[in-house]
Amino acid sequence: MKLKQLECLLGHLQQFSNPKVELEQYPTGPHIASRLLYTAENSFDDISNKVVADFGCGCGTLGAAAALLGAEQVIGIDIDSQSLGIASMNAENLELDIDFVQCDISNLGWRGQIVDTVVMNPPFGTRKKGADIDFLFVALKVASEAVYSLHKTSTRDLRFDVPQLYKFHKKKEVDIAVDLWRFVPKRSRGENS
């Protein structure tokens, strides 16, 4: 699938109607989501024929992109039932087979490296300091190949569009500088290479 086609398909997904500030819910836009997953697939072969988990999946944009790029299985995980409802509807509208799990990432009971790749746009940690690191800590435990994660920064050129969603937002839209990080977890003991 071409990048523009992927971005176009993601652009039709429903997003939060009532985002929860305490969960730092912001929609992952089609522009950044398509580039994140396209890079993961075309530069590193981390998506097609892989088991991909979308941590803090929200409305399911990253998981949908993984499924559209040929992931063998996609699992979307979020603590918020309303987000999972939107994500499920988005998957159904695109005729994608995605499994959804309602769970706090810190209470995820997975043991060992049971997915190939984790993709995530975690909370940036502006409401709960270290929330992004909590997500990363769990992701590195369960991914065998790679973890892709967006993190807030002020020194890079990658931009994340944040629309005016909450009462404390003064502007219609703000670009937040983010970095896309690719982490490669340590292999389990006993594995070669």
- Please write the tens of the pLDDT for every residue from 158-181: 555 555 555 565 665 656 667 777
Of 3.40.50.720, 3.40.50.150, 3.40.50.300, 3.40.250.10, the CATH number of 3-183 is 3.40.50.150
Give whole-number Cα distances, 101 to 60, 80, 93, 176, in Å.
12, 10, 19, 29
CB distance 65 to 37 below 8 Å: yes
Going from N- to C-terminal start, the domains of the chain cover: 3-183
Helices and strands per DSSP (H, E), number in the chain? 5, 7
Spatial CB neighbours of 191, under 8 Å, sequence gap ≥ 6:
none
Cα distance between residue 95 and residue 149, in whole Å: 26
**Residue owning tokens 């009971």:** 109
**Residue owning tokens 């992109």:** 65
Q: Tell me the residue type at 188.
A: S
- The two tokens of residue 113 are 């490296």
- Please write the tens of the pLDDT for every residue from 81-136: 999 999 999 999 999 999 999 999 999 989 889 999 999 999 877 777 888 889 99
Distance of CA 165 to the CA centre of its chain: 19
- The two tokens of residue 73 are 């299985």
